[in-house]
Structure 1
Amino acid sequence: MSRRDGNPSPLRIAFVCTGNICRSPLAEALARHHLDRAGIGARFVVESFGTHDYHVGDGADPRTVATAARRGIDLSTHRARQVSAAQVGAADLVFAMDSGHLAFLKRMIAITDQGRLHLFLPWTGAPARVPDVPDPYYGSQEGFDAVHDLLDGAAARMAAKCAAFTGGGHG
């Protein structure tokens, strides 16, 4: 499948959080899920990264894995990766989980390329009062559940926007 502009290469979407073990891998998996449900998953390459190397090579946080599994999302094969300028440059859309990540990403690439960088929640139309995805890492299970719900809704809205952009899908 292709973009509306006729370019046959898939659109690349990257999600970025701190360690790539909680928020960004969940956002990646939920984005894939909703893009597939919209019938446009083959038009996208979806990845996730962390701003720091704290957990490179590790799986997703067990609490994130368990929360996702209870809702039918499999994170068992995820391995944390640290973001590089090349990965940011290769992506068509880069979604930061919070404003700190966005600032980090903006320092990585030329100002002329920064149009691809976005806070995920505002880009998907979430209420302005909630621009950042909270980090559940130091919190309770309820925090992981809340982050899942927040990202699930945002990923569904993202898939709808992507379907409109690519001119396809069944919404």
Structure 2
Amino acid sequence: MQMRGEQPGPWLLSVGKLVVTLLIFTAALLPGARADAGGEHSPGGDGPVLSQVRAHYLVGCGGCHGIAGVSASDVVPDLKEQAGYFLCSPKGREYMIHLPNVAFSPLSSADLADLMNYVAFGLGGHSVPAGARPYTAAEVARLREAPFRNYSLQSYRLDVVRDVIHACPQAATVIHAYDLALDKREIDNK
């Protein structure tokens, strides 16, 4: 039970974000809404415009990572202005596809490539390194055949984050915050 003046727990924030995501997605599917590119209103003014890739993001990622890529970052990593850093190194690039919710997504490899390009280049914004290349359907198909299975996600992420920071030192100030919060929780729980 939450006491008056107490901040809601991270799980409550995640549930709230999921509800908002579902409401936005549902509104986009109402009669008159079109599935086009962008996030504007349709020219006829008959409802919101929701691209297929944004719909895939909202359904598959937005509940935890937030509608705009901003989450309860001590529980789930933010994507906004951060996801692009993972394209700094081959390990980081592969990591994004090896994650279980990505690798095991029911989307086709072509749709998943579009989604991951939206995450990396769209939500990642200024964090995308110069010369980074988009994911292709063939690359995604190859990488999702080998999702991580036999080791700790925390250890795997920490190894990848160290590699990414080595390749893009400017990433250290943002993408490592989640790992530090995770380490603190581990210490607090012992």
TM over 0.5: no
Structure having the higher Rg = 2
Richer in strand (by share): 1
